[in-house]
């Protein structure tokens, strides 16, 4: 019976030992796991984080070594090396690649040439008003890169001198200084009671010789433009280049009209056997130039050389407006003033004819209505031409003021021209229209005598 009791006791002791061993192993495993989490992982991270310091020092050393090598090899070697290096190479750190890229771009920028893309001849006149002129930076082809100094580029910088418009006289080299033919002295005074302008012609000085004997026989014709029907003439002074006239002439004119009048003096040389030779002329545009004419004022003027007596044909006012998107050019004839009298009644029957020209050929023409018996007509009529933008630098407009005649041919009073190839005010008006599209630009234009090149004996050609 004692033997049977001892067997269960030994069995229970064995089970207890096994349980204790298993629990001990479990505790050891837990301890090892906690030790790995708390000690081993932070220590490994700390060891890994200490590596960039070493790599950074290596990077600095490699950068210094590379810079020394580049400095020794020169510009060409440096640029070739820079080209060969891949921007995404895993063998070179990203910071080194970025510094190399910045260094290459900083020095290659000096040798970059900027060119304007090629364009057609379209809108050449527009380019004069746009800041499209660029300059290429100066280039240094030396082999030693550190000696090359980076110069500031002019691209994108506004230059005010590019926008300064030259005067008409500077743009036309054919224009020369007007030749003078002596001086003339006269006085002006207005008589308010009698509404009379008194012109007293005193003397002329240093006139050119027109005769074989070295002298002239001068006399002067006097007009108060635009009226040419009222004309005065001095006596002829024989064989002198410094005549003394001392003659007075009276023009009946209201004081309010003096602002629109011009004094015209034409100096002639008398010739008994042939046509009288014109010496020169003086045109006083502003009668109030010296004073208000309340008292007698002495005026000296240079006599401008002229071979024929100039005729005041009048002026015309019109506006120009161009719509580039629609390709539409609108010329609005506003009014005319002081037109030349073409009829025996002292008036005219004016109308305006506008011709579209291309290379001397008339392409189209349009007319306004006729205004009867007037020298100062008012129209306010629009004339429209369809012109593509690419043809604007090839065309011009010829504006002709005509006198309608029921019997016979209509006569030309005067003409003016606007276009890229026109002269003076005609070119300026055209360029201003192109510079400010969609905006009507109005100007007064003086009428001139028709030239052979303007005569409308040309074919009608349509390209629109």
Average pLDDT over residues 297-320: 85
- Give 347's pLDDT tier (boundaries 50, 70, 90): confident
How does DSSP assign 184-216, residue by residue? EEEEEEEETTTTEEEEEEEEEESPPP-STTS--
Could you give the maximum distance between any two Cα atoms of the chain, in Å? 188
Average pLDDT over residues 77-84: 44
> What is the predicted pLDDT for the residue at 452?
46
> What is the predicted pLDDT for the residue at 403?
93
CB of 429 within 8 A of CB of 444?
A: no
> What is the predicted pLDDT for the residue at 306?
79
Average pLDDT over residues 213-225: 88
User: Distances in Å between the alpha carbon of 393 and those of 47, 125, 238, 288?
Assistant: 78, 7, 56, 42
> What is the predicted pLDDT for the residue at 60?
55
Instruction: Tell me the per-residue pLDDT of 409-431, one tens digit each, with 9 for 90 and over.
Output: 899 999 999 999 898 899 999 99
Average pLDDT over residues 380-394: 93
CA distance linking residue 195 with residue 197, whole number of Å = 7
Average pLDDT over residues 150-176: 43
315-454 matches 180-305 in CATH topology? yes
How does DSSP assign 148-178, residue by residue? PPP----TT---GGGGPPPPHHHH-TT--PP
- Is the per-residue pLDDT at 247 higher than 90? yes
Instruction: Tell me the per-residue pLDDT of 192-210, one tens digit each, with 9 for 90 and over.
Output: 989 999 999 999 989 988 8
For domain 180-305, the CATH superfamily is C2 domain (2.60.40.150)
Please, what sign has the CA dihedral across residues 252, 262, 220, 275?
Answer: negative
How many Cβ atoms from other residues are within 10 Å of residue 386's Cβ? 11
CA distance linking residue 368 with residue 350, whole number of Å = 9
Please state which CATH number belongs to domain 315-454.
2.60.40.150
> What is the predicted pLDDT for the residue at 459?
38
- Is the per-residue pLDDT at 407 higher than 70? yes
- Is the per-residue pLDDT at 80 higher than 90? no
Ranges 7-16, 63-72, 122-131, 362-371, most confident:
362-371
> What is the predicted pLDDT for the residue at 246?
92
* pLDDT top residue among 338 and 81: 338
- Is the per-residue pLDDT at 342 higher than 50? yes
Q: Which 3 state secondary structure label does DSSP give 337? A: strand
CA distance linking residue 316 with residue 445, whole number of Å = 5
- Is the per-residue pLDDT at 32 higher than 90? no
Ranges 140-154, 208-222, 266-280, most confident:
208-222
Angle between helices 51-84 and 41-49 (to 10 degrees): 40
> What is the predicted pLDDT for the residue at 179?
76
Average pLDDT over residues 448-456: 61
- Give 42's pLDDT tier (boundaries 50, 70, 90): low
Percent of the chain at pLDDT exceeding 90: 32
- Is the per-residue pLDDT at 103 higher than 80? no
Domain ranges of the chain: 61-114+122-164, 180-305, 315-454
The strand pair at 218-225 and 262-269 is best described as antiparallel
47-81 CB burial, b ≥16 within 10 A, e <16 = eeeeeeeeeeeebeeeeeeeeeebeeeebeebbee
Ranges 2-11, 102-111, 230-239, most confident:
230-239
Give pTM, 2 decimals: 0.44
> What is the predicted pLDDT for the residue at 152?
46
> What is the predicted pLDDT for the residue at 72?
52
- Give 4's pLDDT tier (boundaries 50, 70, 90): low
Least confident range from 99-103, 132-136, 337-341: namely: 132-136
Average pLDDT over residues 265-270: 89
Whether omega before 226 lies within 30 degrees of 0, making that bond cis, reads yes
Least confident range from 73-87, 339-353, 419-433: namely: 73-87
Chain mean pLDDT for the chain: 74
CA distance linking residue 344 with residue 408, whole number of Å = 15
| CA dihedral of residues 372, 373, 379, 384 (deg, nearest 10) | 60
- Is the per-residue pLDDT at 129 higher than 50? no
């Amino acid at each position: 019976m004692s033997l049977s009791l001892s067997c269960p006791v030994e069995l229970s002791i064995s089970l207890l030992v096994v349980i204790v061993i298993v629990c001990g192993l479990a505790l050891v495993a837990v301890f090892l796991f906690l030790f790995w989490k708390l000690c081993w992982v932070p220590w490994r991270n700390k060891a890994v984080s200490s590596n960039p310091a070493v790599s950074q020092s290596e990077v600095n050393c490699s950068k210094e070594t590379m810079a020394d090598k580049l400095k020794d090899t020169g510009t060409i070697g440096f640029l070739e090396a820079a080209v060969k290096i891949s921007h995404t190479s895993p063998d070179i750190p990203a910071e080194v690649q970025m510094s190399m890229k910045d260094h290459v771009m900083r020095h290659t920028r000096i040798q970059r040439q900027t060119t304007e893309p090629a364009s057609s001849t379209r809108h050449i006149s527009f380019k004069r008003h746009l800041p499209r002129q660029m300059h290429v930076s100066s280039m240094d082809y030396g082999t030693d890169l550190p000696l090359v100094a980076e110069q500031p580029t002019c691209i994108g910088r506004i230059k005010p001198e590019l926008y300064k418009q030259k005067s008409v006289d500077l743009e036309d080299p054919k224009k020369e200084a007007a030749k003078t033919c002596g001086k003339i002295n006269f006085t002006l005074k207005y008589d308010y009671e009698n509404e009379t302008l008194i012109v007293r012609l005193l003397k002329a000085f240093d006139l050119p010789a027109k005769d074989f004997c070295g002298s002239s026989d001068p006399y002067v014709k006097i007009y108060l433009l635009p009226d040419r029907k009222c004309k005065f003439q001095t006596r002829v002074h024989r064989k002198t280049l410094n005549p003394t006239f001392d003659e007075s002439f009276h023009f009946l004119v209201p004081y309010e009209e003096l602002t629109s009048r011009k004094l015209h003096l034409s100096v002639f040389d008398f010739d008994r056997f042939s046509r009288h030779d014109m010496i020169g002329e003086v045109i006083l545009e502003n009668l109030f130039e010296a004073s208000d004419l309340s008292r007698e004022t002495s005026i000296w003027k240079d006599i401008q050389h002229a071979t024929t007596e100039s005729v005041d044909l009048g002026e015309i006012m019109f506006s120009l407006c161009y719509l580039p998107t629609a390709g539409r050019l609108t010329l609005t004839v506003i009014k005319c003033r002081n037109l030349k009298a073409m009829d025996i009644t002292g008036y005219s029957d004016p109308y305006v004819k506008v011709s579209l020209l291309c290379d001397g050929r008339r392409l189209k023409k349009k007319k306004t209505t006729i205004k009867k018996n007037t020298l100062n007509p008012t129209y306010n009529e629009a004339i429209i031409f369809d012109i593509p933008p690419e043809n604007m630098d090839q065309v011009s407009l010829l504006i002709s003021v005509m006198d309608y005649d029921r019997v016979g041919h209509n006569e030309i009073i005067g003409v003016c021209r606007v276009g890229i190839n026109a002269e003076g005010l005609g070119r300026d008006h055209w360029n201003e229209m192109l510079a400010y599209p969609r905006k009507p630009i109005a100007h007064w234009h003086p009428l001139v005598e028709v030239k052979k090149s303007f005569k409308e004996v040309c074919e009608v050609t349509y390209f629109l």
